[in-house]
Amino acid sequence: KAGVTQTPRYLIKTRGQQVTLSCSPISGHRSVSWYQQTPGQGLQFLFEYFSETQRNKGNFPGRFSGRQFSNSRSEMNVSTLELGDSALYLCASSNGQGGEAFFGQGTRLTVV
């Protein structure tokens, strides 16, 4: 069974640009959640989607948005990038019935 796939693995963007990150969950999983990991703030929850509906949202500005498609794939978008958005963005996939989430390798975003 293939794991969670995140693309791209690495990304360099300029301040003020926007970026879209993609996550393909494990086959059959309908829930996708996103996390930001930085050395200063640690692992912070961004959003959770289940069957194309946002179920939970973390405390991030409106520049951070996400969506989930009918095939459960998810994207997150960050507009007007700031230097502080440099982080490892992790996607996690689950069956939506409680229990554990399975994480992808992450996308390392660097904003210069």
Partner 1 sequence: AQSVTQLDSQVPVFEEAPVELRCNYSSSVSVYLFWYVQYPNQGLQLLLKYLSGSTLVKGINGFEAEFNKSQTSFHLRKPSVHISDTAEYFCAVTRGGTYKYIFGTGTRLKVLA
Could you tell me which of 22, 27, 26 has the C-alpha nearest to residue 8?
A: 22
Closer residue to partner 1, CB minimum distance, 25 or 78: 25
The residues of the shown chain that bind partner 1, judged by CB under 8 A, are 4, 6, 31, 33, 35, 42-45, 48, 55-56, 58, 90, 92, 94, 98-106, 108
Token pair belonging to 96: 């939506």
CA distance linking residue 51 with residue 36, whole number of Å: 22
Least Å distance between CB 40 and partner 1? 10
How far is residue 109's CA from residue 72's CA, in Å, rounded to a whole number? 23
Q: Facing residues of 20 across strands? A: 77
State which residue, 66 or 106, has the beta carbon closest to partner 1: 106
48 or 85, CB closer to partner 1?
48
